Amino acid sequence: MKSIRGTTSGETLTARDRRHVWHPYSSIGSELPLFEVQSARGVRLTLTDGRELIDGMSSWWSAIHGYNVPALNAAAEAQIARMSHVMFGGLTHEPAVRLAERLVEITPAPLETVFLADSGSVAVEVALKMALQFAAASGHPSRQRVLALRGGYHGDTFGAMSVCDPVTGMHTLFAGTLAPQIFAPRPNCRFDAVWDPTDTLALEQLLATHADTLAAVILEPIVQGAGGMWFYHPDYLREVRRLCDHHGLLLIADEIATGFGRTGRLFACEHAGLAPDILCVGKALTGGFMTLAATLATREVAETIASAPPGVFMHGPTFMGNPLACAVANASLELLLESPWQQRIAALERGLCEGLALCRELPPVADVRVLGAIGVVEMREPVDMRVLPGAFVERGVWVRPFGRLVYVMPPFVMEAPDVAHLTSAIVDVLQHTARR
Ligand SMILES: *Cc1c(COP(=O)(O)O)cnc(C)c1O
């Protein structure tokens, strides 16, 4: 038995954490600030020292209803009393079936089948695998690659990483292991600009050259998230759909960040009025309560995969269809769809636009953009992560920048005064502490 040293002797939680615990994109022994959360309710996080923070992150796009939501807690408690988990091989249950039906109902029409995965990255792995099995079953076994966009982010597992931006996705580090994919330039034309038809020229040429080795195109519709928080034109998406049809490729839409209302539409594909062949959702699926994701596919994709050896789709996580997560997802979707979410997103969009407008005047700021309940301040230089998180905490808000991006995506239930507090804290911090 290893002895666990110093777990009680008045040592802070942070000190104990630093000895043993990995955090996202962190190093053990890192000196970067860490804040101890005691509880969370509504749009506020309470630290163990009693300070309250207005949450600008929705715990990475997920906590759309805020925290400690009675309806979600009740759904979880009711499901725990029945069963929190049971294997999904050869067994089924009401929470999973109801969730699948609901997802089919609210997503674009031809998506009719649902694979329940345990995280966003796994949902992307499943989507890629479906595309490859579909190509093989359609008599195109040489179509094993995928075209992705620069500036994209699709997750941290190896398949997902292979379609992330090659630079921010650290492709050189894992060069020998990552599947070599094809990359088109980042869409350039802004969401609200006049459409520039030359924006898809490079993509068009790449597809003309490589289509016979490609199974699919994968992208984040309208909003590229962790790869750069960039909003691009709906006509770009329409053109990709047209080109995929022309070359016989599947279109995979990764709506793990954008799904469930964040951009002002229930799904970002709706901005372009189109449907993908495969759709990934995650993050806000359980309202941030716990991990769950899903990959939806058309009946054509499902039937084609079933029509050729091995005759089944080759994936099946241990915790697939976890009843507890499905029950909470059902409650979260009900809560969302019965709420005036469109008005809430529109109000958040106005609040973020007004509140962040002042950032445009600041010399270190390169760009300010807002779409739906997403507000982005792009800086000229990377921000100082030793200083900024603490500066936000001092002003009573939780904002976690990365690289040159200071961004917020508040819970949909945030009220106007809290949005104003959040945005004025950002203006204040960037004014006083942005420089390294
Ligand atoms: C977060 C995210 C993922 C990965 O989801 P995880 O649950 O973190 O594995 C994939 N794609 C997009 C667009 C995301 O925002």
For residue 254, the ligand 1 atom closest to its alpha carbon is 13
Report domain extents, the chain.
13-61+340-435, 73-337
Q: How far is the CA of 82 from the centre of ligand 1 (A)?
A: 30
Q: Note the CATH number of domain 73-337.
A: 3.40.640.10
2 tagged catalytic: no
Categorize the per-residue pLDDT at 169 as very low, low, confident or very high, splitting at 50, 70 and 90: confident
Q: Kindly indicate the confidence band of residue 168, based on its pLDDT and cuts at 50, 70 and 90.
A: confident
**pLDDT bucket at 68, cuts 50 / 70 / 90:** very high
Q: At what angle do helices 70-82 and 323-337 cross, to 10 degrees?
A: 150
- Give Cα separations from 93 to 76, 99, 134, 322 (angstroms): 15, 10, 28, 10
Report the nearest atom of ligand 1 relative to the CA of 293.
7
- What's the CA-to-centroid distance between 281 and ligand 1, angstroms? 9
Query: How does residue 4 score in pLDDT terms, banded at 50, 70 and 90?
Result: low
User: Which residues neighbour 180 within 8 Å (Cβ) at sequence distance 6 or greater?
Assistant: 145, 162
170 pLDDT tier (thresholds 50, 70, 90): confident
Among the listed residues 199, 254, 277, 418, the single catalytic one is 254
Catalytic residue check, 232: no
Residue of 128, 153, 232, 402 to mutate, ligand 1, most atoms within 8 A of C-beta: 153
The pLDDT tens digits for 376-429 are 999 999 999 999 999 999 999 999 999 999 999 999 999 999 999 999 999 999
Q: Is 283 a catalytic residue?
A: yes
The whole-number average pLDDT for the span 277-286 is 98
Mean residue pLDDT of the chain comes to 96
Distance of CA 214 to the CA centre of its chain: 25
Q: Which residues pair with 54 in a beta bridge?
A: 44, 397
Burial (CB count <10 Å: 0-12, 13-18, 19+), residue 417 = exposed
**pLDDT tens per residue, range 78-91:** 999 999 999 999 99
Tell which one of 60, 64, 154, 292 to mutate to probe ligand 1, the residue whose CB is within 8 A of the most ligand atoms: 154
Q: Tell how far the Cα of 154 is from the centroid of ligand 1, in angstroms.
A: 6
Mean pLDDT of 28-43: 95
pLDDT tens per residue across span 333-361: 999 999 999 999 999 999 999 999 999 99
For the question of residue 153 being annotated catalytic, the response is yes
18, 7 contact by CB (below 8 A): no
Instruction: Indicate which residue of 67, 118, 236, 283 is catalytic.
Output: 283
Ligand 1: nearest atom to the Cα of 61: 15
φ/ψ (deg, to 5) at 411: -55, 145
- Give pLDDT, residue 2: 56
Task: Name every protein residue with a CB atom under 6 angstroms from any ligand 1 atom.
Answer: 119-121, 124, 153-155, 220, 225-226, 254, 256-257, 282-283
Among candidate residues 153, 232, 236, 407, the one labeled active-site is 153
pLDDT tens per residue, range 190-207: 999 999 999 999 999 999
**What is the pLDDT averaged over residues 139-163?**
97
Residue type, 328: V
- Which tokens belong to 205? 């040429």
The 10s digit of each residue's pLDDT in 111-132 is: 999 999 999 999 999 999 999 9
Q: What is the pLDDT of residue 6?
A: 47
DSSP string, 355-423: HHHGGGGSTTEEEEEEETTEEEEEESS---TTTHHHHHHHTTEE---BTTEEEE---TT--HHHHHHHH
Q: Which of 125, 121, 112, 116 is nearest to 85 (CA)?
A: 116
Contact between 364 and 379 (Cβ < 8 Å)? yes
Section 361-380 average pLDDT: 97
Locate 356 and state its tokens: 């962040």
Cα 125 to ligand 1 centre (Å): 11
CATH superfamily for domain 13-61+340-435: Aspartate Aminotransferase, domain 1 (3.90.1150.10)
Query: What distance in angstroms lies between residue 60's CA and the mean position of ligand 1's atoms?
Result: 9
CA–centroid distance, 167 to ligand 1, in Å, is 17
- Angle between helix axes 416-433 and 341-357 (nearest 10 degrees) is 30
Q: Whose CA is nearest to atom 5 of ligand 1?
A: 120
